[in-house]
């Protein structure tokens, strides 16, 4: 009964689909004009799968339960927090990783120090978050029909 209900949850599955599609698109948007399959399982990049995921969820909840419902308000707040984090905190972490990697390269060139490079693409630019959000809203509207 429990698994059957989860399997029939259209809001859940279309939200997951929205996230998966955003991740799949990243394969083609790495910026260096080549297909990069590693991007399908990494964070950061265009479009934001986090934004797509949570905005699809909020859109479908709003359509299903009303945009004046408490559950829509909760999912919208949740979505806004996720998108703020993606564009703010995680982007800053990525920039810090870039700086640390440059320090490591400088040290390596002078002292032959081996250091593991940090992952630099962690967060999203505001544009990436907005495109992911629009994608999630459109998928939510389409799926709720």
pLDDT tens digits, the chain, 145 residues: what are they?
889 999 999 999 999 999 999 999 888 876 677 777 777 677 777 888 889 999 999 999 999 999 999 999 999 999 999 988 877 777 777 778 887 888 888 888 876 555 566 566 666 788 888 888 898 889 888 887 7
Q: Quote the pLDDT of residue 53.
A: 95
Q: Quote the pLDDT of residue 19.
A: 93
Q: Quote the pLDDT of residue 4.
A: 92
| 3-class secondary-structure state, position 49 | helix
Q: Quote the pLDDT of residue 117.
A: 65
The DSSP secondary-structure symbol of 40 reads: G
Kind and range of the H or E run holding 110: helix 89-111
Q: Quote the pLDDT of residue 84.
A: 86
Indicate the length of the chain as a whole number: 145
Contact 95, 125 (CB under 8 A): no
Contact 23, 104 (CB under 8 A): no
Tell me the pTM.
0.70
């Amino acid at each position: 009964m429990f698994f059957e209900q989860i399997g029939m949850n259209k809001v859940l599955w279309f939200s997951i689909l929205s996230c998966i599609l955003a991740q799949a698109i990243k394969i083609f948007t790495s910026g260096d004009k080549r297909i990069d399959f590693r991007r399908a399982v990494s964070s950061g990049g265009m479009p934001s799968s986090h934004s797509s995921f949570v905005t699809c969820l909020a859109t479908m909840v709003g359509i299903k339960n009303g945009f004046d419902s408490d559950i829509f308000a909760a999912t919208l707040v949740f979505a806004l927090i996720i998108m703020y984090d993606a564009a703010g905190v995680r982007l800053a972490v990525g920039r810090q990783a870039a700086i640390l990697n440059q320090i490591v390269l400088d040290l390596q060139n002078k002292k032959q120090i081996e250091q593991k490079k940090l992952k630099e693409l962690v967060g999203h630019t505001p544009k990436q978050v907005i495109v992911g959000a629009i994608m999630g809203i459109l998928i939510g509207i389409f799926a709720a029909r």
